[in-house]
Structure 1
Amino acid sequence: MRRRVLYVDDTPSSRDALREYCTRELPGVDLITAATASEGLEICADRTLDCIVSAYQLSGMDGLEFLEYVRDTHPDLPFILFTAAGSETVASEAIASGVSEYVQKGGDEQFDLLAARIDDAIDRYHSRTGYRDLFEAIGDAIIVHDPETGDVVDVNRAVCEHWGYSHEQACECAIEELSAAVQPASERTAREWVRRTAEEGPQRVEWVCETSDGMQFRADVRLKPATINGRDRVIALIRDITEEKHREQELKAFREAVEHAGHSIYITDSDEEILYVNPAFEEVTGYTADEAIGRTPRLLQSGEHDDEFYDQLWETILAGEDWQNELINERKDGSRYVVNQTIAPITDEMGEIVRFVAVNAEITEQKRRERQLQALYTATTEWLDAESKDDVYELVSTQLTDLLEFDLHGFCLYDESTHTLQSVVTSEHADVVLDDFPEFEEGEGIVWTVFESGNAERCDDVREHPDVYNPDTEIRSELVLPLGGHGVLLIGSKEPSAFDDTDETLAKVLSSALTEVLSRIEREGELAERNSRLEEFANVVSHDLRNPLSVARGHLELARDTGDETHLEEVEQSHDRMERIIQNLLWLAREGREIGETRRVDLAYTVEDAWRHVDTKEARLVGSVDRTIEADPDRLQQLFENLFRNAIQHGGSDVTVDVGVLDDGFYVEDDGPGIPEATREHVFEAGYSSSPDGTGYGLSIVQTIAEAHGWNLDITDGTAGGVRFEFSGVGFGGEARTEY
């Protein structure tokens, strides 16, 4: 590349001598000459030059004045002052005015020295021009420092734009003015970093900068030593990373959230390849990150969904929309689980989809509970068809095991006669786990507490409960649920804390429904019994009262016809019999199997009172009962009165009645004709009587009272050939009077 040099000198011989030298020694230089400064300025305006050489003495203006005009239009163009020797004042002024070089004329080597200075000046000029262009073109901020002082020497346009200073203001700023006062990232000052770079080489630091209006931003600062125009410098390349740090913090927070999320999360590229899985994914699916990354989500497919399902999924997310649905997946071990999956596309700056993120909330347990609730609802409708409580207990026990997976359970039902809670129906698993099933008396264990209070209890560890019945029980967790007055439902586990809130809620729903069904069956039974008694009453009224009424009517007609008043006695007896029948029927209809409040009753006194209230004629009462029993005293006396009337009615007016005690009860026997074994099963039927004077309800009432107390009643032969009624299962108290 040829170099264009302008030489301005008003001495023709000097111009010719330099031209001859350049032609001979500098073939790469095109020398252009001018006689005056004005001519030189015209050439500068018309042509591109690489260097100007000028004499000091010129026509019209001197060389320094010429330099001043050149600098107005070409501030960086090399300018060499080529002047006569011995003028030190001119040399000083030239340097102060900013000439590139100063060369004295004269001597054999003057042109050699000038040629060398021209080459150096042009090289520096072109080098500086390239550096400047690059310096200004770089988008990141560049600050040039003096390594000895740390002062700012030069800045590029990006510094001015970012900090809000002009070029001159920025170069006049102290390095501290461009930095924030607080630097959490470093203990060194900005000047120390510059000095360290000059001594040790390139450095890198994260720095907080401050603009002219006080705004701060984080920057990545790279420091490097350099030589510029022969001087040592430290260049700082500064890149604003405020947004980058913000994104980095957001990404860090997002990653931490994903890492610690309870939901299974994975990220794929646009070709379905898995790029990332979180720890929850590994835990839920059984696949490690190494096993999953690089594969596609198809490794989780269970075969439960068809191609159309997945086609719709891809159609949605490829359109840039979120997809959400329930999905049945398969773990590594082959087991299936249900997730509520959301897949969202991730786009780049151009809006192109580059990633997909899938968030999977496992709802396997939730779906199982939903199925249980639906099954439980369906199951309760089956209870409505049950005809007895026992049928219900068996049905519920099966459903507790099959539907709710409570395979260790049992029912403790209230026994009114013993005032205890007794186990009646237990699951097969409970039969295996437990050796025996206790009977809970009043105040015993958690079971009685729940029965009495009507409040369910969930015990996470039965052994630590203050009301535990057996501290050594194998049962550790327990749900105890009241069933109203029917008893309680027990659901257990051999593991502590085995039941959660949902288990408790399901069990409460079941026990509440069960209580209503049991109460309904009980009410229906009571109603059926009342209807039976009413029907029985109606039959007796229509049939049994008809006989004595017919007899009375017949004797009344005879008395009218014959005037014989003895017939009126028969009418009176018929009326008396009807009155007894009516009284007995009213008791059966009103009282039925109900008894009043029980208490300790002296058996001997009750027998005596009953004997006095019966027309015993010449009959005798023998025996002794030296006990007290728990009974309703009025109903007990009624029992004895009916037995005594039955003995006199069938055994005659002189019959002997014996009352005594058994090991677990008492008996009443007579020495009458007895009851044939073939008819014994009928004597307790309402209205049945082998005597024409009997109502047929005496023994039925006896049986009703015995059953109401929970006693067993048997008929056997008496010791003297008559009949013996034995009552067993009677709760005796202490001894009482032994004679009547």
Structure 2
Amino acid sequence: MPERDDTSPRSAVARDRREEVLTRLHEATRDLVRASDRERIGEVVIETANDVLGLGIAVFSVVDPDDELLRPLVVSDEAAARLPGVHDLAYGPGTLPWRVFESDDANVYADIGERLPEVDDSVGTAILVSLGDHGLLAVGSSDERDLTTADVEFTRLLAANAQSALDRTEREATLREERDRITALFQNASDAMVEIRYETRDPTISAVNPAFETVFGFDAESVVGRSLYDVLVPDGDRSTAREHVELARRGSRFEREVRRQTADGPRDFLLRGVPLDDEGTPTVGYAIYTDITERTEQTRTLGRLHETTRDLVRASDPTEIARITVSAARDTLGFPINAVRLYDAESNRLRPVAVPSDTVETMGDRPIYGPGDGVVWEAFRSGEVIVVEDVSALDDGGNHDGVASAMYLPLGEYGTISIGSTEANHFDDADVQLAKVLAANASVALGRAEQERELRRRETELARQNERLDEFASVVSHDLRNPLSVARGYLDLLSGHRADSEEWDDTEAEYLDRIRTAHERIDRLIGDLLTLARQGKSVGETEVISLAAVAHSAWQTVGTAEATLSVVEDTRFRADRDRLCELFENLFRNAIGHAGADASVTVEPCEGGFAVADDGPGIPPAEREQVFERGYTTSDRGTGFGLAIVAEIVAAHGWSVSVEASESGGAQFVVRGVESVPAVDE
């Protein structure tokens, strides 16, 4: 194949032609850069295809956003002449133009008329080039000349420049829309907003919205160009403000609560810093001030109510609690017109016990209310808060002179608090909620005061009962035991006389034994009564106890020669040693009394405590709850107080006791709730 001769006249013409086309394409690119919308871009592309590339047939199509079809936007005169319906053409998925559009490439079609029947056969060869996401450029020669590779190259270059221009205009349109939205938001926002530039050391105000002018009382002209610090930030907040401005300079958002001077005085705001561009280092940002004064004031009020609660907790007298409540309603909630009434059960009336001077000056002396007496009694009866926006509309016979609106809050079962205002419809939801908090705290304080009164009453009554018990114990100890001792002494003398006389018979001897037994039973009864009267449900100092040691110690004072005690296993727990020993003594006496002198008694630990079992006849299930009652006994020799003492000692330790059947069928007393103590190595 002969080498290409680039020095031939034809090659020189082609080279010159190429340079000319590239130069003119470069000039067209400048026009594309200046184009402001895609229709103008289409016009430049069509003109360039006609005048520079010599392609008279040219169609610039874009994707219609409404139906997402390719539709012609700009058409050359030659194309319109050859294709009369070209403006109405539309191509969607599956069609040849759509496939080229999606391929993001350029294709040459020599038989375009066959592929697209709606195109005139005289068009001949056509070049279809994708415009990226925007559309499609279709060109052809009006003189039906063959299209060369240079034509394809130049068309692709023109399409690429057009695509760049379309990308730019789309970005600019998006930015314009965003700026328009930001501007509309800026101008119409209810929050005060400041546009800030960060090009100097201090943030400079470049614009403010109307809400800013209203809230802070500045005209835009007086603050634009000034430092934000000088206009809004107090000296004490400069350091913190600079830290947050540095965050904004780095493109970070921030939020903080601030207090600023406004046209209406100091107000609390949530300040939000929003950079206009959060990528890189923004030069413009916004400061948005959202008024949160009501929220922060409510928080402060709740804090002051918490302090009032401490005063209410310390108060012990209902009248004192009522006075603290009306003071809090006046000083903390800002309701100087109020009154607290407490319920008097004897008269079934609500009586005013705390009335501020403001209330008396406005409304006069406050009346007593009873059943059916208007809205105050209704709030107390129903336990519901009643808010009256216009007191003049009330027709309840109550004395509401001097106020225009009011709310009535129950203090539980203890009374009410009435709060009034000289303005109609004065109370909002926040007022009602705060008043509810105060009323609830006062109700709790009144309830606690009543409990303390009841406790003091019971303590006084208990003290009197203890005095009577002491007197009873003294009578039992001295006035009963002394005659009993005398009787036992004479019984011993009589028994000795019988031993020296032969005139006594067996019947008389039996009577003497019965008298002695009765004396012994009376003595045990006196001992049990003294135990119940003087100790009851109380324990002294506790210590770590060995179950086995205490059981064996108690057995020494109770056991008989024939009876046996078996301690299966030892355990340790905390208890009052003397009272625990007393518990075992009573359980052992009960076992021997029912199982006999040769009873077999077992003591062993169990889950959560210990058990004492015997081999006697046992206790029927129906009687197991009764055995711990005072005076209950089924034995002629029993006092009926031994197991009651056991129950008292168990309760004093915080334990529980129950009766079950032992393995041998006897009785088993189980003590639970006992917390074991691990053994310590000696």
Give TM-score scaled by structure 2 length.
0.47
**Higher helix content, 1 or 2:** 2
Q: Which has the larger radius of gyration?
A: 1
**Higher strand content, 1 or 2:** 1
Larger RCO (CA under 8 A, 6+ residues apart): 2
